[in-house]
Amino acid sequence: MARRKMIYEGKAKIIYEGTEPGTIVQYFKDDATAFNAQKKDVIEGKGVLNNRLSEYFMTGLNQIGVPTHFIKRLNMREQLCRQVEIVPLEVIVRNYAAGTMSKRLGIDEGTQLPRPIVEYCLKDDSLGDPLVTEEHIAAFGWASQQDMEDILSLALRVNDFMSGVMMAVGIRLVDFKIEIGRVYDGDFQRLIVADEISPDSCRLWDIETGQKLDKDVFRRDLGSLTDAYTEVAKRLGVMPKTSTPITKPTLIN
C-alpha cells in the first residue's frame, strides 16, 4: 500500500491525507486513554470495533439527513472522511446524570434529566478540556451565534437518533460527546458531525442490568473493554455474532 502522509496523531486515531483533495483517512488505533491520558493501555481489537461502530452511526445519520464527515470505510481500521476544520469544542449531550456532571452538581449517577442537556468543553488537553459557556465561546470567537444554533440542532438530532438506535437493542444512551467540523462548499460554509461516534465517547448502559458497555469499563477497571464493545457491536448487528475477528487484526502498514 502506498504510504500516506500523516497529518496528525491523536490519542485513539491517526489522521492521514486522503486519496482525493478535501478528504482524510482516519486510522483507528487500539490505544485507550482516560483522565486526560494519565491512564493508558492498548486494548487489542478496540480500533477495529470503533471503526465499524462509528461507520454504523455516521452512515445512519447521513441517511436521515444529519450531515457527517463520513464517506466510506476503507478496511478494518480505516475510513475515508471529508476534511473539515474542527470547531475547538467538545459538544456533550446528557440524558442521565453521570461522570463530571454528577460530581459537579451532586446528582446521583443514573438520574434521568428533565430534558437533554447540552454542554460545551474547550478542546484543550493541556487545560483538561474545561467546561465553557456560550459567553466564552462568543467572546473568544470559537464559534459564532449562528454556529451555536447549528451545533445545538445537530447535537440534539444526533441524540434522538443515537437514543433510538440504542433503545432498540436494550441500551440506554446516558451521554455522549461529538465534535463538529466546518466545511466550505463554494462561498458557503456549513457545520457537520466529524471525528467519531463510538463507545469511547458515549456512556452506554444495559437497560435491564445497568451493565456498562462503554469506556467507563476501562476508566473504572470493570472488566474487558473489548467484550463490552463487542456486545454493543453484536446487538447492533455490526459484527457477526459468532466470529471473533477482532482479537488478531491484520495490521495495515
Q: Give residues in contact with ligand TYD (CB under 6 A).
A: 90, 92, 98-101, 121, 129, 175-177, 201-203
- What's the Cα-to-Cα distance from 96 to each of 160, 163, 205, rounded to whole Å? 14, 12, 11
Q: How far is the CB of 187 from ligand TYD (least distance, A)?
A: 33
* Cα–Cα distance measured from residue 15 to residue 108, given in angstroms and rounded to the nearest whole number: 38
Residue with smaller CB distance to ligand TYD, 18 or 151: 151
| Least distance (Å) between residue 227 CB and ligand TYD | 19
Residues comprising the chain, all counted: 253
* Residue closest to ligand TYD (Cβ): 99
Which lies closer to ligand TYD via its Cβ, residue 18 or residue 148? 148
Nearer to ligand TYD, 18 or 154 (CB): 154
Beta carbon nearer to ligand TYD, 82 or 94: 94
How many C-beta neighbours within 10 Å does residue 28 have?
Answer: 25
56 vs 205, beta carbon nearer ligand TYD: 205
CB 194 to ligand TYD: min, Å: 14
| 3-class secondary structure, 97 | coil
- Shortest CB 234 distance to ligand TYD, Å: 21
Q: Which is nearer to ligand TYD, 18 or 194 (CB)?
A: 194
- Provide the angle, in degrees to the nearest 10, between the axes of the packed helices 145-167 and 46-63: 110
Minimum CB–partner distance for residue 202 and ligand TYD (Å): 5
As a whole number of angstroms, the distance between CA 58 and CA 79 comes to 11
Beta strand extents in the chain (DSSP E only): 6-9, 13-17, 23-28, 31-34, 39-42, 70-73, 78-82, 85-86, 89-96, 112-122, 131-132, 171-185, 188-194, 202-206
Smallest separation, CB 180 to ligand TYD (Å): 14
| Joined grid coordinates for residue 68 | 457527517
